Copies of this chain bind each other. A is one copy, B any other.
Amino acid sequence: MIAVLRRLLIGRPLETARMEHEKVGQFGGLAVFAADAMSSVAYGPEEVLLVLMLAGSAGLAYGVPVGIALAILIAIVATSYRQTVQEYPSGGGAYVVAHANLGVLPAHIAGGALLTDYVLTVAVSVASGVAAITSAWPGLHEHRVALAVCFIVLIMLVNLRGVRESAGIFSLPVYGFIFCCLATILAGFAKLMAGHLEPGLPSQLPVALQGVTAFLVLRAFSSGCASLTGIEAVANGVQAFKEPRGKTAAAVMVWLALILATTVIGVSVLAHWLGIAPAEKVTVLSQIGEKVFGRGTMYYLLQTTTALILIFAANTSFADFPRLSAFMARDGYMPRQMANLGDRLVFANGIIMLAGLAIALIVGFEGDVSRLIPLYAVGVFTAFTTSQAGMVIHWIRKGGPHWHYKVIVNGLGALCTGVVLIVIAVTKFAYGAWIVCLIIPVLVMIFRSIGKHYRYVASRLSLDNASAVQPHHNLTVLLVGGMHRGTLEALQYVKALSHDVRAVHVEAEGAQDPRIRRLWDAWEHDIPLTVIESPYRNLAGPLLEYCAKLKQQEGYDIVTIVIPEFVVDDVWQSLLHNHTALWLQVSLRTVTDVAVVNLRYRL
C-alpha cells in the first residue's frame, strides 16, 4: 500500500547508470541560477523600507542610498567569486574551498552556515511567494501558513521525483520575472518623466518612531543583503555548466550581478519617487506594479511571475542543501544516510530533511517574511567570508601569473563580506540573528562529534593487526513453541544447517504442558528437548540464560538461535497472531555472541 503510494507520488526507481547532468550554457545557466538571487528583489527592497520606515519619511529617504550600497556590494562579491568559479570548476562552494584551504573548522563553519541559510531560503522564498499571491488575492491571506506548507510539500515531491535543474523549465519564470521587473522599472520611469504618475510621499505618511540613526540605516542595509544569496548558488553548481565551465560560470556571474544590481537600484528609486511605504497585506513590488500599470494584465503577470520565481528559488535550495549534505556525509561529518541515492537518483534524505525544517520554520514564524528576514543572510555572509578568505590562502600558496592581483580581489571580497557579516550580526542580533549565531556553533559541534564517531568505527573495523580467520565453535538452538507441522519443518532445517543442535521450549504459561514432551519423543529421536521455566512469562530472558550457561559450561563461542515463525496471507490475519518471533528478535537485537535465525514457513 505504502509502495503503491510511493510509486504514484515519486515514480518508479531509476537505474544508477541513468545518472546524468544536463550541461547549461550562459542563457540556461542564468535561468537556473538566477532564480535564487533575483527572487530576493521581491522582498529585499521591502524589508529595507520596513526598517527605514521606523524613522518615518526621513528614514524612507535612505532607501535609494541603501539600494546603491547593495549594488556596489553585489559588484564586489561577484567580481571576487568570478575568480573562485574559474579556479574550482568542479564546484566551488564555500565548504569545498574552506576545506581545501583553511582546514576542517572553517569548513564546518561554512557548511553549517550554508545549511542554515538554505533552510531559510526555502522558508523565506515560499513565504514571500505566498505573500505575492495573497497581495493579488487578499482572501487567501489567512490561509498563508497552510498554503506555504502545501507549496513546500509539492516542491519536496517534485524533487524526490528528481527534476533535473532543467534550463527549459526555469527559463519561463526567471526571464519572465526579469522582463516584468525591468518593464515595471522602465514604464515607471517613463510615466514619471511624462508626468502620468505623480511623484510624492506615501498616501499614509508613516509615523516616525525614532530618528534616523546609523544603526537603523545599517540594519536596513543588512536586511537588503538577502539579495546576495544566489551568488553562492552559481559557485556551488559550476559543474553544471558547459565547457569551458569556469568561463561560462564567470560570465553568468557577471550577467547576474548586472541584472540584480540594476533591479535593486531601479526598485529602490521607483519606490522612493512613487512614495511607497510597506503595508501589511500588500507587498512593495505589488504596490509599485499597481501604481505603474493599474490592476491590469501586466500587474497580474508581475505578481504571477513573482510567485513563480520565488517557488523556483526555493527549488534551488532543494538542489543545494542535499548536495552539500551529501558532500559532508561523504567526508564523514553528516550522517551517512544523507549520501544515499534514493529511488530517483536524488539525495532523498536531504530533501525530506530540508522540507521538514523549512515547514517547521514557516509554522514557527507563522509564515511572516519580516520575522524570518533577521535570521537570514548571516549564514550566507559567513560562507562568503570563509570562501573568499580561503581563496586568498589559495592564491598565496599557488602563486601563478597575476597572483598579487587575485589576492587583492579576493581579499577585498573577504574584507567587505566580513565587515558586512559583522554589520548583519550586530544590527540584526536582537531581532533574531542570535538564533543563527547559536545554531551555527551547535552544528559545528555536531559535525565534529559525527566525524569522531565515524573515525572511531573505521579504526575498530580496520584490518590492521587482524589475525587470520579461525572457525568459531557454534551451537545451534531451536526454539520450539509447540509440536506442529512448522516444528517439523524447522527440524528439517536445523538438521541441514548444523550438526550441533539442541531444542528448547520455554514454558511461559505457568502450568507445564506434558503434551509437548510426549509429542517430541514421538517425532524426534536425535535432538534432545529442554524445557525451561519462565516465571515472568518472557522468552528472551530465560533463553539467553540457557545459552549463556551452555556457552560457559561447554565452551561455545557463539549460539545460533533458530526461531520458526509462520507467515499468514495478509495484514488482518497477522493481527491475530502474537508475533513471538518478531518480538524475540527485537529484544535480542542488542545482544552479541548470539545470532538469530528467522525461519518462516507457509501454512
* Interface residues of A, Cβ cutoff 8 Å to B: 13-17, 19, 335-337, 340-341, 343, 450, 453-454, 456-457, 460-463, 466, 468-474, 476, 483-486, 488, 491-493, 495-498, 508-510, 519, 523-524, 534-538, 557-558, 560, 562, 566-568, 573, 575-578, 585, 589-592, 594-603
Contacts and interface: CB of A to CB of B under 8 A. Distances in A.
Number of copies: 2
A603 B536 CA distance: 32
Contact of A524 (B457, B466, B469, B473): B469
Contact of A461 (B469, B566, B585): B566
B488 A576 contact: no
B485 A471 contact: no
Nearest to A473: B496
A161 to B, nearest CB: 15
Contacts of A335: 575-576
Contacts of A596: 597-598
Contacts of A491: 469
Given A450-B576, A463-B519, A599-B595, A15 B536 contact: yes
Contacts of A17: 510, 535
A471 B454 contact: no
24 contacts: A14-B536, A16-B508, A16-B534, A16-B536, A19-B510, A336-B578, A341-B537, A457-B603, A461-B484, A461-B486, A461-B603, A462-B484, A463-B483, A471-B492, A472-B492, A474-B493, A589-B600, A592-B602, A594-B600, A595-B599, A596-B597, A596-B598, A597-B597, A597-B598
A435 B380 CA distance: 61
Contact of A592 (B337, B497, B600): B600
Contacts of A562: 595
Contacts of A538: 13
A508 B13 CA distance: 13
Contacts of A498: 497-498
Given A336-B576, A597-B597, A598-B596, A463 B492 contact: no
B560 A597 contact: yes
Given A453-B573, A596-B598, A597-B597, A523 B469 contact: yes
Nearest to A533: B16
A509 B491 CA distance: 39
Per CB-CB distance, the 8 closest pairs between chain A and chain B, nearest first, are A461-B484, A16-B510, A474-B496, A472-B496, A471-B495, A460-B603, A15-B535, A13-B536
A563 to B, nearest CB: 10
Contacts of A453: 573, 576
B575 A16 contact: no
B585 A598 contact: yes
A592 B567 CA distance: 8
Contact of A497 (B474, B510, B536, B537): B474
A519 B466 CA distance: 13
A474 B567 CA distance: 20
Of the candidates A16, A460, A462, A471, the one having the most CB atoms from chain B within 10 angstroms of its own CB is: A16
Given A566-B461, A576-B454, A596-B597, A472 B488 contact: no
A128 to B, nearest CB: 34
Contacts of A483: 463
A340 B577 CA distance: 11
Given A462-B484, A466-B485, 4 more contacts: A336-B576, A341-B537, A470-B492, A591-B600
Nearest to A596: B598
B576 A523 contact: no
Nearest to A14: B536
Contacts of A15: 535-536
A523 B603 CA distance: 42
A599 B472 CA distance: 13
A567 B585 contact: no
A602 B466 CA distance: 15
B601 A598 contact: no
A346 to B, nearest CB: 12
Contacts of A468: 523
Contacts of A19: 510
A463 B450 contact: no
Contacts of A589: 598, 600
B597 A595 contact: yes
B595 A557 contact: no
A296 B307 CA distance: 68
Given A492-B469, A597-B595, A598-B585, A485 B497 contact: no
Contacts of A536: 13-16, 343
Nearest to A337: B578
A316 to B, nearest CB: 26
Nearest to A486: B461
Given A498-B498, A510-B19, A557-B496, A340 B463 contact: no
Contacts of A592: 567, 600-602
A486 B457 CA distance: 11
A473 to B, nearest CB: 6
A508 B15 CA distance: 10
A497 B497 contact: yes
A142 to B, nearest CB: 26
A460 B485 contact: yes
A381 B80 CA distance: 87
Contacts of A509: 16
A71 to B, nearest CB: 45
A595 to B, nearest CB: 5
A595 B476 CA distance: 14
Contacts of A495: 469, 471-472
